[in-house]
Amino acid sequence: MSARTAFVDLLIFLHGVGSSGDDLAPLAKAWGARLGVAAVSPDAPEPFDQAAVGRQWFSVLGVTAANRPARVEAAAARFDAVVDAAIGAAGTTAERTVLVGFSQGTIMALDALVRGRHFAGVLGFSGRLARDPVASLEGKPILLVHGDADGVIPISEAIAARHALAAAGAEVDFARIAGEGHGIGPAAAAVGYGFLEKLCAGE
């Protein structure tokens, strides 16, 4: 990864569907403390529509490859509101903020980039790209981490996302985690942390 001058002072962790900010909060707290930056893990704005607990960025009831882009588009304004509130509370800017997503959180984070929002970078675990970029991603640092045993979102989705993001100019890396399912295990976490460490160091 080439040297860069971007300064990172906020990490926003974005949970998956049916989960909540509390699930990623321990990881956010630990990594933020180690990196010396603020780290938050907000709740998605909608209640999960398939259980009495949990939150969602968009509904996955009846979701298909054909209707997913429209659902993500419809959720974009509410996603931006959550992210911008966290940025405002931290007293920083989007350009100094890294989005760290898991599953549906990764989908929303990547979509924010491809529709033209500017962040210091994106770390995406176990996700996919809902729609192709409509904005240049020239030099934007992205790391996609995916288990090759993921039965929820196949690793082929991350590979496809990598190609589309790179074609739009992003500096996108990809880490295949052998034997990993749909989650953030120790190996995936280690790779992801290394990426954030470099970003926070301005590398």
Residues in the chain: 203
Q: Are 14 and 122 in contact (CB under 8 A)?
A: no
Query: Nearest Cα to 57, choosing from 122, 117, 5, 130?
Result: 130
Per the structure block, which two tokens stand in for 169?
Answer: 């100019």
Q: Which of 19, 20, 41, 103 is catalytic?
A: 103
Query: Nearest Cα to 114, choosing from 142, 134, 95?
Result: 134
* Cα(99)–Cα(138) distance, integer angstroms: 17
Q: Which of 23, 148, 173, 182 is catalytic?
A: 182
Residue with tokens 């962790």: 13
The separation between the first and the last C-alpha atoms of the chain, rounded to the nearest angstrom, is 7
* Cα(74)–Cα(64) distance, integer angstroms: 15
What is the β-pairing status of strands 55-56 and 46-47? antiparallel
Count the neighbouring beta carbons within 10 Å of the beta carbon of residue 57.
Answer: 27
Q: Which of 15, 20, 126, 150 is catalytic?
A: 150
- To the query of whether residue 150 is one of the catalytic residues in this protein, the response is yes
- The catalytic site residues sit at 103, 150, 182
